[in-house]
Structure 1
Amino acid sequence: MTYFIDRRPNAKHKSAVNRQRFLERYRKHIKRSVEEAVNRRSITDMERGEKVSIPTKDISEPVFQHGPGGARNIVSPGNKEFLEGDKIRRPGGQGGGDGAGEGGASNQGEGDDEFAFTLSREEFLEFVFDGLELPNLQRKPLKSLEEIKMVRAGLARDGVPSRISITRSMREAYARRIAMRAPIKRALKEAQEALAAEERKDPVLRNPARIVELKAEIERLEKRIEAVPFIDTYDLRYHQLAAQPQPSSQAVMFCVMDVSGSMTQNHKDIAKRFFLLLYLFLEKHYEKVELVFVRHHTAAREVNEEEFFYSRETGGTIVSSALTLVNKIIEKRYPAGQWNLYIAQASDGDNWDDDSNICRDLLVKQLMPQLQYYAYVEITPHEHQSLWHEYETVAAQFPERFAMRQIVDAGDIYPVFRELFKRRLSQEQ
């Protein structure tokens, strides 16, 4: 009989298996509650879970009931009102039962609250980023010998005990015992037949010395058979492992943010929240994605995570300075043949008059041929300026790898983010 043992760690008084089954069953309701929570809370407040409510009418369980017909004997102690055959009046109120379960007003009975429970941080983020992925992620050639996978490479007679092959070792031992016992068993059989033939002779013709000699030989051969070891060090076989190079799916995400004077504090807060959401998404779903943070006004500079999100630097606007810097970083540290390259840019659309054309040429001629995906969000409630129109030209040339969306207020961040990084049908197939 086969036994299945679930060794997943469970918290005290909780069942991880039942909880996962519950989350999957009511995934639609939970996801809707999570989306509402994302829109009302700060993105920086993603480090905690969320309390989710589900209407009681949506968690009702199917039940078995007795159908008409058949004989049933029911004892109802304390019944002073009804006799056999009486019809019981339906209770008043909504829902058919004291007004309970529907949440409607009633002058009698009790109501039921919505079923509420708390999602952990990991469960909350799982629903937040459900169905999202980096577009066009490809397998790249080997970067270095560190990208390897240990694979089985046959058997050997030497190895560590943890890699011993029990089946192959027992097979070798069995074959060795057969080979070593075979000639001894043949000699034993001949001696036993000779002894039986000698004992069948007439007592006058029987040779007692020969009988003693044959018995001694049989005893010696039996001891030799028993002396053959069940398993010997010669029989042991060990699995061998070899390092096999693997294609690398490593990626780098360039986060480019406009911090010029035209970006108001509200614009910068929205941009930071967008990039924080992107940061959490990459941190949760990908192990081999590096982040490069670039801030720019008239000049661009690569910064660390802390400075990217919290520095108060400001100035004029030349977007091409950031794109030029990103291109230099790619050439120096992230060659396109070894890395999947992604860029996410946030700006208010304001740019130096003659610079938007330069940005278009940089993208078309240098960056886009190397990139897997470019996501541009423009944070503005006003009409688009020259930068947006030039980017539309780029999007027309690279429709599968260049996406641009507009964000008016904080409520647009999450819907725009999901639209930019939603899973493509071609990748699902």
Structure 2
Amino acid sequence: GEDYYETDISLEELIDIVFEDLELPFWERKKFRQIESKRLSKRKGFRSKGIRPRLDKKRTAKARIRRKHATTGPRSNRATENGAFRHGLNESGEERFPFHDDDLKYHHLTEDVKFESNAVVICIMDTSGSMDTVKKYLARSFYFLLYQFVNQRYQNTELVFIAHHTEAREVDEDEFFHKGESGGTFVSSGYRKALDIIAERYHPALWNIYAFHTSDGDNFPSDNDAALEAVRELCDVCNLFGYGEIKPSGSWDYGGTLYQLFNQIDAENFCMVKIVQKEDLWPSFRKLIEVDKTEDAEAV
């Protein structure tokens, strides 16, 4: 068979690779509220000494291969005959060639210091009775992507969680991702709660504000006008307002949906996606995050 070498990466490194080309759209520098951000994440070469979590297994394996090849020339053959490079045999009778301390290569990290503007991401989720188990799974999976993205890419970004049915309230992270509720739906209650929080804690002149809402699109008709007006107000104060409609295959429509209603919104910082199945989560997430790039491409 053929020889091959395996390497592995940590979950944190994998998340970094997945999100490395993504940024929050319509970002603005808020010069009055910039914060110094320090992270040991800027790689600057390699060293032969370091801690085990920073070991670069691929480069270490290559160093071992080069050293092994260096022992196969005429001089090394003579040395081997004299026993200088003999390492013994393994269980299958093949000559062992173990790793040496000189093979080990470690990532050298330096402190990456940069100034970041304040930002807040507001997560609004419909938790009414029409949001069944599948819909809640898709909604929470979307917010899990968003949560990982924000935590990985932005050190000074705050997260706000809002759950709503006919009434809305701010909840903590654990309750947002795990607790379910019931009842009817007044979508405007979630939007009004977000607007109240922005007015109290996050002035648009000082903060980059991003709001995201997931729902199955069902809403009491009497609340539609209020919801539409609240969306327009959110677009006025947010860098981006993104709406994701959760509609698994076979789910029942109770008349018109919010997706149809929100087609009236023509703000450039408003974007909608439909999530039908789990395979839609990643492309929908990217569409929302890259909305400013999409508009630039269309303009060209």
Tell whether the 8 Å contact from 2:35 to 2:156 is kept in structure 1 after alignment: no
Q: 1:108-151 CA distances to partner (integer Å, 9 max, x unpaired)? A: xx4x48764322212211222132110011011414xx8579xx
Distance 1:286 1:261, change over 3 A: same
- What's the counterpart of residue 245 of structure 2? 378
Report SS of the residue matched to 1:314. Answer: coil
Secondary structure of 1:317's counterpart equals coil
Q: Secondary structure at the match of 1:389?
A: helix
Deviation at 1:411, TM superposition (A): 1.5
CA distance in 2 between partners of 1:148 and 1:413 (Å)? 33
Identity value in percent: 37
Partner Cα separation in structure 1 for residue 198 and residue 121 of structure 2: 11
- Confirm or deny that 1:387 pairs with 2:258: yes
Corresponding residue SS for 1:118: coil
- CA displacement at 1:353 relative to structure 2: 1.1
- Is 1:414 paired with 2:285? no
Gaps of 5+ in 1: 1-109, 150-245
Task: Please give the alpha-carbon distance, in whole angstroms, between the structure 1 residues aligned to 2:35 and 2:195.
Answer: 25
- 1:262–1:337 distance in 2 versus 1, CA, 3 Å: same
Per-residue CA shift, 1:192-250, capped at 9, x if unaligned?
xxxxxxxxxxxxxxxxxxxxxxxxxxxxxxxxxxxxxxxxxxxxxxxxxxxxxx98611
Counterpart amino acid of residue 210 in structure 2: Y
For residue 24 of structure 2, what is the aligned residue in structure 1? 134
Alignment TM-score, normalising by the size of structure 2: 0.66
Which secondary structure state, in structure 2, belongs to the residue aligned with residue 385 of structure 1?
Answer: coil
The alignment's C-alpha RMSD in Å is: 2.5
Residues 35, 118 of structure 2: 8 Å contact kept: no
Equivalent residues in 2 for 1:133-282, closer than 5 Å? 133-143=23-33, 147=35, 249-282=117-150
Q: Residues 124 and 257 of structure 1: is their aligned pair in 2 closer, same or farther, counting only changes over 3 Å?
A: same
Cα pair distance change 1:113/1:412, threshold 3 Å: farther
Q: Which has the larger radius of gyration?
A: 1
List gaps (5 residues or longer) in structure 2: 38-113
How many equivalent residue pairs? 215
In the alignment, which of 260, 264, 269 is matched to residue 401 of structure 1?
269
Which one has more relative contact order, counting CA pairs under 8 Å at least 6 apart?
2
Indicate the residue corresponding to 1:342 in structure 2: 210
Q: How many angstroms apart in 1 are the aligned matches of 2:153 and 2:220? A: 37
Matches of 1:312 and 1:247, distance apart in 2: 39
So what's the TM-score if we normalise by structure 1? 0.47
Give the partner amino acid of 1:367.
Answer: L
SS at match of 1:287: coil
- Structure 1 residue 124 corresponds to structure 2 residue 14: yes
